[in-house]
Chains A and B, each alone.
Chain A
Amino acid sequence: MSRRFDNTHPDPAGHPEGKRKGRNRDPVMPAGSDERQEERVLTETFRLLPKLKCPDGVTEEILRLTIRQKRSVKRFSFVVGLADWRLRAAAAVAVAALIAVLIFYPGKPEPVISVSPQVAEVDAERASEQLKWSLMYTSQLLNKSEKQAIGEAVINKLPETFRNTLKKTIPLFQGGES
């Protein structure tokens, strides 16, 4: 004899049929006929309780907060979904480019700390030429002043009459040289 209850529940006790044999050790499964009847009455009575209907206003509010609110988001996600492969391709290219840059880029050159100003080659040549000329001119001036100084020193050692005569004649010599 089956010990399952005679009601419409699939399996009120939650046990497979035929499991209970011998003594009833489970407190849930009533052993006596009174308890079985009690179980049956409870089941039937509870199941006859009114099925309360969810008000339409609540259903509408649920739909408004869920499906209808989500539409705009869904449209956006739909667009994203369409462009998904494009986005993925673009992302892949971007990542590849980034990796390539990281691997092959020589790196930012270290700043050259130089005291000398950066001068163009042409300017340097010109400056060198000018320096040469200025040095030559300076050398000439030094030669001239040296000769003059020697001449004056010699003259100062001579007697005054001879010195005066010499002073008059030196310019004649110098003018004759130039």
Chain B
Amino acid sequence: MMKRYAYRHFLSQTQDRVFSYASYMLRNREDAEDVTQEVFVKMWKHWDTIRKEKRDSWILRVTHNECIDLLRRKSSPQRAWTTLDDAVNNRIVALSSISPEQELESGEMQKAILASLAGLPDKMQSMMLLHYYQGVRFEEIAEILGMSLSAVKTGMHRARKQLRGVLEKRYPELAGVGNVQTV
């Protein structure tokens, strides 16, 4: 009985996080739904063997692996952003904490970053999403991606550099937006 309640609680706490991560990685809503479902079913099967404090990293690791597997199976280097563009435009989560000017700027920035993120290798995208979007620490990222801490740090540095390069190349007009001159 306790297991069911604990699982249900965990599901309600993390399902959006998992779905978001899968959506940003796969850029396809249906695939993200499939992966989310598969990941949580797997978690239910292994629930007893996963330590409580490791559940978060476990679910992200499995989500990441499922996403990578799916991407490899599909092997489509050019993935469309349509679903996420809609998500950004529709503003599923109200950005009530920022001013309209900031929202405008950040909205443009988000679109630019999302589009530029597609130009990065999958692992770098994962690092950026996990760290900047999900707020995961480097140690956890290393665990999730199966890398060493130093490799994660180096990868993050390279990812940021690459992202900056892609952004500058694709969106030179963003150089003048607010505080993001260097991005």
Per DSSP, are chain B's interface residues mostly helix, strand or loop, or mixed?
Answer: helix
* Known A-B contacts A49-B24, A67-B8; A14 and B138 likewise in contact (beta carbons under 8 Å): yes
Interface size class, chain B: 35 or more
| Interface contact B93-A45, CB-CB below 8 Å | no
Asked whether B160 is an interface residue with its Cβ less than 8 Å from the other chain, the reply is yes
Asked whether B106 lies within 8 Å of A53 as measured between CB atoms, the reply is no
In the complex, which residues of chain B have a beta carbon less than 8 angstroms from the beta carbon of A13?
A: 138
On whether the beta carbons of A28 and B11 are closer than 8 Å, the reply is: no
* A-B contact number at CB 8 A: 130
Binding site for B on A (CB under 8 A): 8-14, 26-28, 34-35, 37-55, 57-59, 61-63, 65-67, 70, 74
Q: Does B169 contact A (CB under 8 A)?
A: no
The answer, yes or no, to whether B183 is at the interface (CB within 8 Å) is yes
Q: 15 A-B Cβ contacts within 8 A?
A: A8-B135, A14-B149, A28-B138, A40-B179, A41-B109, A43-B132, A44-B106, A50-B20, A50-B88, A52-B16, A52-B23, A52-B92, A53-B16, A62-B36, A65-B41
Q: A42-B183, A67-B7 are in contact. Are A50 and B92 (CB under 8 A)?
A: yes
Besides the known contacts A27-B154, A45-B109, 4 further A-B residue pairs in the complex with CB atoms under 8 A apart: A54-B18, A59-B11, A66-B41, A70-B44
